[in-house]
Amino acid sequence: MRSARLILASALFALMAGAALAQPAPRAVGPTIADVGSAYYRFEQVSVTSADGARVYRVQIGVPRKAPGQGGYPVAYLLDGDAAMARLDETLLGQLNTGDPPVIVAVGYQGDRQFDVLARAYDYTPPAQDGAYLVDAAGRPGGGADAFLTLLHDQIAPEVTARVRIDPARSLLWGHSYGGLCVLHAALTRPDAYGRFVSVSPSLWWNYGSVLAEVDPFLSRPHPAALSLTLLVGEEEVAGRGGRTRTNPMWSSVPSGATRDLAQRLHAAGVDVRFAEIPGQGHGGMLSASLIPTLLSFAGVAPAPGDVFS
């Protein structure tokens, strides 16, 4: 039986008190490590436009200065890329450099904010199976995850591989909140697209828990032997604290322990799934509390994680 693993780190980011569901605090994009430069990574930036022309993605590609192994570099795709880049610093990149540093692909949006709340609400939420028009609890249109994942695979990934030698067997997709929902949807519907999926505080309540209906079809099909899914939540958000409210009927449609229940179900079915509740973390804090150790673990320099399933 595969064991679940625990990933720990301190939080650097929190939501504004009373923020709307899955709506991060409106922080401005400021100078990042890509702007000031690094001894360990060089950075490039490309722009990609959505198929409908409504969104322009700011894709920042961090390439290790350290030479790759024989098969090429591992690659980590990060959703909410502008917020992710704001949390990378020279200390972290130096730690990655001591191991097998991955190419970092931070996928954000053009503009002056770390989070484009309208764009991410559309891109990171799965479509309705019946084709119905979807909005979230704040009235933002959703349902564009399949189109976004196709763009990520068919347009953004080729931009990366054209610039640097990538090991296709070592890829990771990370996302938080709505991004975590998108990662989970990808794992259940496109399990061969990436080797590792890291879904952090996924918004399972989206469309009254419709993503959970994807589990049975996923389990009915063979899944790649190399598939690895990590599900992480904050202890405070599970307890109903940490800046979230359960008064909205869409949010309250899924129990607070649904992510753990999902992990246990997948684990029992033989899926390589890791689950952890991070002590002391609320929903917003899970962005930093997951991102840094995810990258360290992917580079092979994180300490051995602990078991959380008996």
Q: Which residues are designated catalytic?
A: 177, 237, 283
CB atoms within 10 A of CB 141: 13
- Regarding beta strands 228-234 and 196-200, do their DSSP bridges make them parallel or antiparallel, or are they unpaired? parallel
CB atoms within 10 A of CB 159: 15
Residue pair 279/49 in contact (Cβ under 8 Å)? The answer is no
Inter-CA distances, 125 with 73, 276, 284, 306, Å? 29, 23, 18, 31
* Distance from C-alpha of 110 to C-alpha of 87, rounded to nearest angstrom: 18
Nearest in space to 199 (alpha carbons), one of 208, 212, 207: 212
Amino acid, single-letter form, for residue 295: L
* Distance from C-alpha of 82 to C-alpha of 78, rounded to nearest angstrom: 9
SS3 215: helix
* Distance from C-alpha of 182 to C-alpha of 162, rounded to nearest angstrom: 25
Amino acid, single-letter form, for residue 296: L
Radius of gyration of the chain from its Cα atoms, rounded to whole angstroms: 18
**How many helices and strands in the chain, by DSSP H and E?**
11, 8
* 83, two tokens: 């917020």
Amino acid, single-letter form, for residue 294: T
Residue pair 154/56 in contact (Cβ under 8 Å)? The answer is no
